[in-house]
Structure 1
Amino acid sequence: MTEKKAFIETGWNFDNSYARLPKSVFTPLTPPPVSSPELIILNGPLAASLGLNADALQSREGVEVLAGNRIPEGALPLAQAYAGHQFGHFTMLGDGRALLLGEQITPLGERVDIQLKGSGRTPYSRGGDGRAALGPMLREYIISEAMHALGIATTRSLAVVTTGESIYRETEQPGAILTRVAASHLRVGTFQYVAKWGTDEELRAMADYTLRRHFPEVNTDENRYLLLLQEVIKRQAELIAKWQLVGFIHGVMNTDNMALSGETIDYGPCAFMDGYDPATVFSSIDAQGRYAYANQPHIAAWNLARFAETLLPLLHDDEIQAIKLAEAAISGFSDLFRRNWLAGMRAKLGIFNEELQDESLIEDLLSMMHKNHADFTNTFRALTFEKPEDTILFGTSGFTQWYELWQARLGRQQEPKSSSHQLMRDSNPALIPRNHRVEEALEAAVKQGDYSVMERLLAALSSPYAHSPEQAEYSTLPALSSRPYRTYCGT
């Protein structure tokens, strides 16, 4: 079989629209080869949806592509340039350890980025080695696929390969490369880069490209760039609300980690909350709690304001008018987020319609959960199956009265109780990727070469709303510890 024929059978169907943008926003680059790549995990269902042949991807030639040692036909690898506010401080950034192979056109005609993460140094590496360790790459695979199963917009993970080479992050660790799939890697930071170092023509070209790629329904010439801003705001309001509804804490909500497509991107120091506490922070580098659970909506609005600033030259010829348009758009984020969050919380409580007292009913429950350190996921699961005795709230002051008010609220609906139960089943996951379970899987994989723990975890996480008996073991809480759980960026 010839090399070319092997690639054809794999199903690669690349286009490279990003490479047709102004040359200032990327650098063409061939990744440096790795010594002996081996496939660790392949996402078969995702491969099939992309039009790729899983068997071919697992062949030697396929693994060479996933490692960056071979460039498939039609690909034009490049590193993207972008900037960003990192913990509030603006800086020049870019793909320091990633390469965009190209855009795969799927059998349904969708366009998605295929990116290699951990593929080596680029002009944007800022002194780094451009490589990635196995643990963080497997972690992104687990969490991103769990987020997808939860119904939350996210980048996906196609594969992880080891490189056969060691990297050093305080200790020696096995190197790895993740193949990431995204609607695109356009970020708020992409526009910050162009606004700072590009021209107005390049900014317009980037905005037009974003509209074509993600918002084709915006086909009017009537301030299309204001509509772009409004659509990005709308998607972020939906996304952050979904994060809050499952207790997800991103951990590094820098502007370069806000995707304009509305997908969750970058799973470095993220984690899921166990006991409900709005001040929860996991990231070891977020000492001030800037990206704490309760702050995520506020930070999203802040990031969107930075995006709006980049669009000012396109919004109106008069700067004062442009600022007014931007401010009016950004001011709508909080209400959009609140509406999405309230709708989600009503669903978690089996409520179909709206009443004015719903907000106090929800807030009173969360207040009791916070006061009693009640587990976020398991509390709603207990309510779903009418087992209040399974939650730590049972028997505490105020809970009995709250429960009666909630039952009375359900009784005022036209929908039968069976419908409320089904709504709650569909809105409250049986399990999340518990931090101790993720760490257990990563330790077995990295230290012992045992991937079976991770495979079982992924299988359980693939259907979070199944509420099957097999999932019960993954709902148990971690043992009490005097040390708070900490996450790291993995760079």
Structure 2
Amino acid sequence: MKISNTYLQLGTAFSESINPLPVADPHLLLWNLSLADQLALSQGLPDNENALAQLFSGNDLLPEASPIACVYAGHQFGQFNPQLGDGRAHLLCEFVDDHQQRWDLQLKGSGPTRYSRRGDGRCALGPAIREYLMSEALHALGVPTTRCLAVVTTGETVYRDLPKPGAVVTRIASSHIRVGSFQYFAAKGDVVSLKTLTDYTIDRHFPTLKAAANPVLELLGAVMDKQVTLIVEWMRIGFIHGVMNTDNTAISGETIDFGPCAMLGIYHPGTVYSSIDSGGRYAFGAQPSICRWNMARLAEALLPLIDEDQDKALAQAEALIADFSPRFEQAYQTMLGAKLGLDEIQQTDVALITELLEQMQEQQLDYTQTFHQLTRSLTEQQIATKLQDTLGNWYGQWRQRIGNDSKQQQAAQALMQQSNPVVIPRNHHVEAVLQACELTNSSAPADALLKVLRSPYQMLAETADYQDLPTDNDRHYQTFCGT
């Protein structure tokens, strides 16, 4: 492994150098061997579970590691906090894989830092396993995401609402630069550090922009494009992030922070499962508008660098932010069209798509199952007949739009099979696995679910075990922040 820490080199204004706090009795519970192999990490790590547990609990460090806790600000549920930061995480180092891609290696739950705000710096086992399960599921579903390399139990108790077994989770990310990272320096009026961060971000994530006439404005546009792609993919699979604060919005366009996340069951754009989102700010259907709001906050932070004339800077930034909604809508309609087997959206297709979503909401139909059944209905008459009864005239109009030619139907079904998963990480199955792992201190329940989640577009022998809907349709389901 080629290990470094270029973020540390930005200076003390950006982070605190601090080692993880050792834990009492670390044991490796989950190890992502395929990810380690993919990133060529296995070559530089010990082939020994005890040694890996020591490393990924923070008890031992890689020789070249220089752990830091990063500082950032953020809007949390619309309220600005000028200083947040890694209160229970340590960025151990960066490494470069065989494809010359740079990655962050971060521990979460590894002890308090300057930014802990009276927190204990620890993570409970349940949230650690949730992040591992959900990030692996999203990766397999084709959604940009950070991933987990390991979950290590600590042999210690974490106190939340109840005593919980503790854990440390290892996260792999393209970087941990957030919208809130820029907001921190903008709020302080530290334009020098803001420019340092911006130059670093362009160099690390968008190097082709360095030759642009206005690299900072182009950076804003590039980040917007990545966020549009991310949110469209969330909407495609029914993912609800639950806490889309600006400090949880990664510049890389990867999903980050899986605390109160959940999956949509019965289709309704107002669906909220997070216990801390009482106002529905981050509801399923609100995610596009919140993303636009977050991009506007990034634009505000970058204004001093876009143009020395702040009126000109504001005009350019506003024009770009105004373009967010058209960019998103085009990508969103294209995505929904693909879920319906339409490789090219016509004007009349928008009404067809809208009517389906309205019927799904009115009839309280499951999001994933409905699209899966539509996919199968192109070749299975029994399902087609059932959907004709459920969706009425709409189903006939859709079949007519697909066309009667067998080649047209085959092409449509192939596109739908790529867009519509046969299985998702259903909330009740995730919760059952978390409870079973906590009770047994074993990875077996998680391993069984992961086998299915890593092949979400294929019917394995075990897939049917995880396709059922919850008995109460998640009516009383709630997720909770891990802190």
- Indicate conservation of the 8 Å contact 1:257/1:266, yes or no: yes
Query: Partner of 1:444 in structure 2?
Result: 436
Matches within 5 A, 1:96-107: 96-107=87-98
1:239-283 Cα shifts (integer Å, max 9, x gaps): 101111111100000000000000010000000011101110000
Q: Distance in 2 between matches of 1:150 and 1:167?
A: 32
Q: Distance in 2 between matches of 1:206 and 1:412?
A: 56
Match of 1:38 among 27, 43, 67: 27
Q: Distance in 2 between matches of 1:389 and 1:140?
A: 38
Amino acid at match of 1:76: S
Query: Partner of 1:204 in structure 2?
Result: 195
Amino acid at match of 2:422: A
Q: Distance in 1 between matches of 2:430 and 2:359?
A: 28
Q: Distance in 2 between matches of 1:275 and 1:59?
A: 42
User: Which secondary structure does the structure 2 equivalent of 1:14 belong to?
Assistant: strand
Amino acid at match of 1:84: G
Q: Percent identity?
A: 46
Could you say if the C-alpha distance between residues 58 and 370 of structure 1 is closer, same or farther in structure 2, counting changes exceeding 3 Å? Answer: farther
- 1:362 Cα deviation from its structure 2 partner: 0.5
Q: Distance in 1 between matches of 2:384 and 2:16?
A: 54
Q: Distance in 1 between matches of 2:409 and 2:181?
A: 48
Q: Distance in 2 between matches of 1:359 and 1:299?
A: 23
Match of 1:25 among 14, 19, 25: 14
Match of 2:50 among 60, 81, 84: 60
User: Which secondary structure does the structure 2 equivalent of 1:166 belong to?
Assistant: strand
Matches within 5 A, 1:18-417: 18-53=7-42, 56=46, 58-91=48-81, 92-197=83-188, 199-386=190-377, 394=387, 399-411=391-403, 416-417=408-409
Moved more, 281-290 or 480-489: 480-489
- Indicate conservation of the 8 Å contact 1:353/1:413, yes or no: no
Q: Distance in 2 between matches of 1:295 and 1:367?
A: 16
Query: Partner of 1:467 in structure 2?
Result: 459
Q: Distance in 2 between matches of 1:393 and 1:19?
A: 59
Could you say if the C-alpha distance between residues 52 and 179 of structure 1 is closer, same or farther in structure 2, counting changes exceeding 3 Å? Answer: same
Query: Partner of 1:419 in structure 2?
Result: 411
User: Which secondary structure does the structure 1 equivalent of 2:105 belong to?
Assistant: strand
Could you say if the C-alpha distance between residues 476 and 81 of structure 1 is closer, same or farther in structure 2, counting changes exceeding 3 Å? Answer: same
- 1:483 Cα deviation from its structure 2 partner: 5.0
Match of 1:429 among 415, 418, 421: 421
User: Which secondary structure does the structure 2 equivalent of 1:274 belong to?
Assistant: coil
Q: Distance in 2 between matches of 1:195 and 1:435?
A: 39
Query: Partner of 1:457 in structure 2?
Result: 449
Could you say if the C-alpha distance between residues 395 and 427 of structure 1 is closer, same or farther in structure 2, counting changes exceeding 3 Å? Answer: closer
Could you say if the C-alpha distance between residues 326 and 391 of structure 1 is closer, same or farther in structure 2, counting changes exceeding 3 Å? Answer: farther
User: Which secondary structure does the structure 1 equivalent of 2:115 belong to?
Assistant: coil
Amino acid at match of 2:291: A
User: Which secondary structure does the structure 2 equivalent of 1:127 belong to?
Assistant: coil
| Root mean square deviation, CA, Å | 1.8
User: Which secondary structure does the structure 2 equivalent of 1:311 belong to?
Assistant: helix
User: Which secondary structure does the structure 1 equivalent of 2:207 belong to?
Assistant: coil
User: Which secondary structure does the structure 2 equivalent of 1:296 belong to?
Assistant: helix
- Indicate conservation of the 8 Å contact 1:83/1:93, yes or no: yes
Amino acid at match of 1:361: L
- Indicate conservation of the 8 Å contact 1:369/1:393, yes or no: no
- 1:122 Cα deviation from its structure 2 partner: 0.2
Amino acid at match of 2:218: L
Q: Distance in 2 between matches of 1:155 and 1:482?
A: 26
- Indicate conservation of the 8 Å contact 2:333/2:345, yes or no: no
- 1:468 Cα deviation from its structure 2 partner: 3.5
- 1:450 Cα deviation from its structure 2 partner: 3.7
Q: Distance in 1 between matches of 2:400 and 2:464?
A: 30
- 1:416 Cα deviation from its structure 2 partner: 2.3
- Indicate conservation of the 8 Å contact 2:103/2:173, yes or no: yes
- Indicate conservation of the 8 Å contact 2:104/2:172, yes or no: yes
User: Which secondary structure does the structure 1 equivalent of 2:472 belong to?
Assistant: coil
**Superposition TM-score, scaled by structure 1 size:** 0.94
Amino acid at match of 1:29: I
- Indicate conservation of the 8 Å contact 2:28/2:52, yes or no: no
Could you say if the C-alpha distance between residues 441 and 211 of structure 1 is closer, same or farther in structure 2, counting changes exceeding 3 Å? Answer: same
Q: Distance in 1 between matches of 2:373 and 2:388?
A: 14
Query: Partner of 1:7 in structure 2?
Result: none
Q: Distance in 2 between matches of 1:88 and 1:391?
A: 45
User: Which secondary structure does the structure 2 equivalent of 1:385 belong to?
Assistant: helix
- 1:49 Cα deviation from its structure 2 partner: 1.5
Q: Distance in 1 between matches of 2:279 and 2:389?
A: 32
- 1:480 Cα deviation from its structure 2 partner: 2.1
- Indicate conservation of the 8 Å contact 1:388/1:394, yes or no: no
In structure 2, stretches of 5+ residues that fail to align are none
In structure 1, stretches of 5+ residues that fail to align are 1-11
Amino acid at match of 1:460: V
Amino acid at match of 2:420: N
Moved more, 299-308 or 385-394: 385-394
Could you say if the C-alpha distance between residues 197 and 414 of structure 1 is closer, same or farther in structure 2, counting changes exceeding 3 Å? Answer: farther
Q: Distance in 2 between matches of 1:111 and 1:333?
A: 28
Could you say if the C-alpha distance between residues 237 and 483 of structure 1 is closer, same or farther in structure 2, counting changes exceeding 3 Å? Answer: closer
Amino acid at match of 1:14: I
Q: Distance in 1 between matches of 2:134 and 2:148?
A: 9
Query: Partner of 1:4 in structure 2?
Result: none
Matches within 5 A, 1:6-17: 12-17=1-6
- Indicate conservation of the 8 Å contact 2:135/2:147, yes or no: yes
Could you say if the C-alpha distance between residues 482 and 110 of structure 1 is closer, same or farther in structure 2, counting changes exceeding 3 Å? Answer: closer
- Indicate conservation of the 8 Å contact 1:154/1:265, yes or no: yes
Could you say if the C-alpha distance between residues 307 and 393 of structure 1 is closer, same or farther in structure 2, counting changes exceeding 3 Å? Answer: farther
- 1:109 Cα deviation from its structure 2 partner: 1.2
- Indicate conservation of the 8 Å contact 2:452/2:460, yes or no: no
